[in-house]
Amino acid sequence: MAVKKFEDLLVWQKAQDFAVTIYQKFSDSKDYSFKDQILRASISISNNIAEGFDRRTNPDFIRFLYFATSSNSEVRSMLYLAERLSMLKTEETNILIAQSNEISRMLYGLIQSMTSIKPKDTNS
């Protein structure tokens, strides 16, 4: 069965959950610049999945999946920095990094599945 809407994609659901977790972890941060950047990047993951899905072409969707992957990498980089700045404990960081890595694997898997789909032959 083909996915009919982006909300059905497990990777989109996990990206949404991840953004909520990031919001919760940094809600009390007084470093507003850092907080704004990590929140924006975390939101961008699921938003890029949604936007790409609704472009309705495989090349566009794949392009936006790469954008989502890049945003996810940005969040992961900032999580390492947050730990170094004592904004997060090592255990918290490890849990969030694991979630981010899972999303990356899912995104790359989806990209792989999209690139292996052969275009329909319109000459038949």
CA–centroid distance for 10 within its chain: 11
Q: What is the pLDDT of residues 60-115, one digit of tens each?
A: 999 999 999 999 999 999 999 999 999 999 999 999 999 999 999 999 999 999 88
Mean pLDDT of 41-54: 97
Own/partner contacts of 37-41, CB < 8 Å, gap of 24 or more, are 37/78, 38/75, 38/78, 38/79, 38/82, 41/71, 41/72, 41/74, 41/75, 41/78
- Token pair of 10 as six digits: 């497990």
CATH: 3.30.1050.10, 1.20.1440.60, 3.40.50.2300, 2.160.10.10. Which one for 7-115? Answer: 1.20.1440.60
Q: Decide: 106 and 10 in contact? Cβ < 8 Å.
A: yes
- Domain coordinates of the chain in residue numbers? 7-115
What is the band of 118 on the pLDDT scale with cuts at 50, 70, 90? low
pTM for the full model? Answer: 0.90
What's the DSSP call for residue 120? P
Q: How far is CA 22 from CA 56, 63, 79, 104, in A?
A: 29, 24, 9, 16
